[in-house]
Structure 1
Amino acid sequence: MIILVKLLLAHLIGDFLLQPKSWVTEKEKKKAKSPKIYLHFLIHGALIVILLGIEYWGLALYLMLIHGLIDLIKLYFQKSNNWVHWFFADQMVHLSAIVGLWYFYFEPEIDLSFSPAFWIYLTALILITQVAGITIQLLLAGWSKKLDLSEGASLQNAGKYIGMLERLFVFVFVITGKLEAIGFLLAAKSVFRFGDLRKSKDRKLTEYILIGTLISFGISILTGLAVLWVVENI
């Protein structure tokens, strides 16, 4: 089981932490002619070897080639009007390939000093910070185009980091059993946002912020509950 968790961790790091937006833009423009796409594949393979060990180079090679094929198909078929669907389809196919190869290639022993719980929590942290932020942005993309979300005097990337911290707090509250603290956090955010919403008098903006907040809290709560269940049953 822990091998599967590490494979998922390698995928999350390779696709979300070690893939700058500039690489994505270049790949979408140049497709197979972009050197960044091949570097991206190599990073995925290297991450699997680092996390599992050099003896799993064959599994790393298979997953690297499959990952590359999936990404190339996505680049040539996604359009500006369906890229959100292709993002989720791409991730689902990647995860299916990882689970499938793990099932047929599984080797039970990798002796590392870290406990299984460490890898589970690390995977969850990446999920609720980077992955969840991009997912929420994609889910709300259709509505955000209809709103004036210009940053103005706002700090650069402030919203991104506020969302990450918000989800981290909720996740910690869930795994420590302090569920009542989530209510206080939600109330505190409402107080801070009240002034902006009152000045804007924009019902659409209010609904947009409310939906984003609920999705953010929901992802963190569900991830926390899932982690508690997995840790108790490994």
Structure 2
Amino acid sequence: MILFTKLFLAHLIGDFLLQPGRWVIHKEANKIKSKYLYVHVLVHFLISMVLLWDLDYLLPVAIITFSHYLIDLAKLYATPYFKLKSVPFFIDQVLHLIVIYMVVYYQNLSPHTAMLFSKIDWGLVTAIVFVSFPSSIIMGKLLEAMSDKIELDHKSLPNAGKYIGIIERLFVLMFIIMGRWEAIGLLIGAKSVFRFNDLKESNNRKLTEYILIGTLLSFGLAIISGIVYQAF
């Protein structure tokens, strides 16, 4: 585990701490001809070797470094085909982690992977999934009759309310599992403070009631999910 941790740390340092924005821009513009692509890969290699400080790991680090070069190069050419640059970015990061994992545990890859899957708390996974998009859809159905009577705020970010709700429910679920019920009250208070100015300026009783009902529903679904998870 310590080997994977050190290589993962090297990846974080090389990809995020020691990669200036101008390197990224230069790589996107010049792709395989960019000198910073090769400097970036070399930095990864050096950081990994320094953290491991053992020449016995030279071959594994070389394999990871070469795969890093190939993955980054593929991302540079694939990114223009994606509408959102975040998609190839996350695919890139996942592939890097998979390579590190496979190199570290190549001797017992299947047994170790099976062991990891056996330790997954599927009840927790189900609770997390439920409080995300399924809960958003359920709330949308429950509030459908009311939402038609509320004037839309065209200045809002697209789907901002949905993602705020998902994040707050995840926090509530986490607080319940940790047994920190008081933190839920703090979260409600913080949300009230942020919403106060909007409601004050709009002076819209229907909007106030709609937001209040939506907030209570959101927190209620998360609390029920946390209680059910702990019960079973």
TM-score, structure 1 normalization = 0.51
Question: Are 2:98 and 1:96 equivalent residues in the alignment?
Answer: yes
Q: Structure 1 residue 102: deviation in Å?
A: 0.7
User: Based on CA coordinates, which of the two structures has the bigger radius of gyration?
Assistant: 2
How far apart are the structure 1 equivalents of 2:79 and 2:191? 38
Larger RCO, structure (CA 8 Å, separation 6 or more) = 1
> What residue number does 1:84 align with?
86
Q: 1:197 to 1:61 in 2, by over 3 A?
A: farther
Across the two proteins, how many residue pairs are aligned to each other?
Answer: 146
- Pair 1:42-2:33 in alignment: no
Partners of 1:198 and 1:58 in 2: CA distance: 61
Cα deviation, residue 194, structure 1: 2.0
Structure 2: which 5+ residue stretches go unaligned? 109-153, 158-170, 223-232
Report the Cα distance in structure 2 between the residues aligned to 1:35 and 1:4, rounded to whole angstroms: 28
Matches within 5 A, 1:22-61: 22-55=22-55, 56-61=57-62
Q: Work out the CA distance in 2 between the residues paired with 1:200 and 1:26.
A: 46
1:78 counterpart SS class: helix
Gaps of at least 5 residues in structure 1 are 107-145, 150-169, 219-234
| 1:105-141 alpha-carbon deviations (Å, 9 max, x no partner) | 79xxxxxxxxxxxxxxxxxxxxxxxxxxxxxxxxxxx
Gap change, CA 1:103 and 1:195, over 3 Å in 2: same
For 1:15, the aligned partner's letter is: D
Hey, what does 1:70 align to over in structure 2? 71
Q: How does 1:42-191 map to 2 (within 5 A)?
A: 42-55=42-55, 56-79=57-80, 80-104=82-106, 179-191=180-192
Which runs of 4 or more aligned residues in structure 1 lie more than 4 Å from their structure 2 counterparts after TM superposition?
Answer: 146-149
1:75 Cα deviation from its structure 2 partner: 0.3
What one-letter code is carried by the residue in structure 1 that aligns with 2:72?
D
Counterparts of 2:18 and 2:155, CA distance in 1: 31
Deviation at 1:82, TM superposition (A): 4.4
Structure 2 CA distance, aligned partners of 1:196 and 1:27? 44
TM-fit CA distance, 1:67: 0.2
Instruction: Measure, in 1, the Cα distance between the counterparts of 2:179 and 2:13.
Output: 29
Q: Percent identity?
A: 35
Structure 1 pair 194–9 and aligned structure 2 pair: CA distance change class (3 A): same
Cα deviation, residue 47, structure 1: 1.8
Superposition RMSD in Å: 3.7
